[in-house]
Structure 1
Amino acid sequence: MNGMLEQLKEQLMARIDTDDLLEVDKVNRYIKLRELDLACSEAIDKDGATIVIENGSQRFIKAHPSMNEKSKLNSQMIALEKSINFTNGSLVPASPASSVEGKQGDYEPGDLV
């Protein structure tokens, strides 16, 4: 594990109850997902964002397979971040309320005619 991931793990572990094995497992899974994400980034940096597929006399250019994997890993990491029970605040801020009902704005009821 590189230094940046070790520091990230230490920071995350400091924000959870380390006696809760489920939360510790979530942090470990998050770090593993980050390792896989970095490996995908290295492969993309090495090979480029596109690759050439040759099938007999045909040549196709397509997106690097790691691009799709990075997208999946990102979704998994976001979901895992939301599920971790941080003791001193959430890593991911809560989304603002989307409902307009009951809120007073800078308008008068007559403006809605």
Structure 2
Amino acid sequence: MSFSDLKKLLEQKGIEISNARLSYYANGKRKPKDKNIWIEIAKVLEVNLQDIIIDIDYFLSINQENSVKNNVKKSGNVKSSEANALSKELLSLIDKNSPSELEKVYRYCSLVSNFENLSKAIDKAGVMILVSSGENEIKKPHPAIAEKVKVNAALIKLDEFFEEKRTSKPKNSGEKDWSKFTK
């Protein structure tokens, strides 16, 4: 397939790209700013992403970044716009080529989703629940409360990592400050 053919197929998906740029990517002379272009190229070519990305670290970073975005989108518990804003902010703070830093973003977003699920369970059943004990019923605190405390502790620990990234990031980098969504 020629670069012109690939360009036409990508244009059908709404991706505008030049033949020269495709040539640079194919020859490893440049990498696209938006790593999702690789995913779209793989879809258009009907191949696996690993078939067109030779650098294993770069492949893993694309895969993990895509996984983070998909998991945030799947989270129907946090408002979609807030989840996207949160993931964008966290992704802007990290080195996207670092699998461990991408994993922290995924974990943070997942914990936020879990926190919201636990809140919904408590809202639905109440703070106190009835538990059967033989022939008696005993009122006990909802077990999700203890789980929320654990999730909150994990979020606070990860917040320390992201706060360190925020303070080390140069001011006036041209990016919006999304920190209000994580506090």
Give TM-score scaled by structure 2 length: 0.46
Per-residue deviation, residues 69-100 of structure 1 (Å, max 9, x unmatched): 000001111112213451x4277xxxxxxxxx
Deviation (angstroms), 1:55: 2.0
Residue of structure 2 equivalent to 1:41: 119
Deviation (angstroms), 1:11: 1.1
Query: What SS does the aligned partner of 1:19 have?
Result: coil
- In structure 2, which of residues 62, 69, 83 is the aligned counterpart of residue 5 of structure 1? 83
In terms of fraction of residues, the more strand-rich structure is 1
Deviation (angstroms), 1:32: 0.6
Cα distance in 1 for partners of 2:151, 2:100 equals 20
| Ranges in structure 1 where 5+ consecutive residues have no aligned partner | 92-113
Q: Spell out the pairing of 1:1-113 with structure 2 (5 A cutoff).
A: 1-2=75-76, 3=80, 4-84=82-162, 86=165, 88-89=166-167
Cα distance in 1 for partners of 2:84, 2:93 equals 14
Aligned residues with identical type, % of pairs? 31
Cα distance in 1 for partners of 2:103, 2:118 equals 23
Residue of structure 1 equivalent to 2:176: none
Deviation (angstroms), 1:44: 0.4
| Ranges in structure 2 where 5+ consecutive residues have no aligned partner | 1-74, 169-178
Which one scores higher on RCO, CA 8 angstroms, separation ≥ 6? 1
Residue of structure 2 equivalent to 1:96: none
Output the aligned Cα RMSD: 1.7
Query: What SS does the aligned partner of 1:17 have?
Result: coil
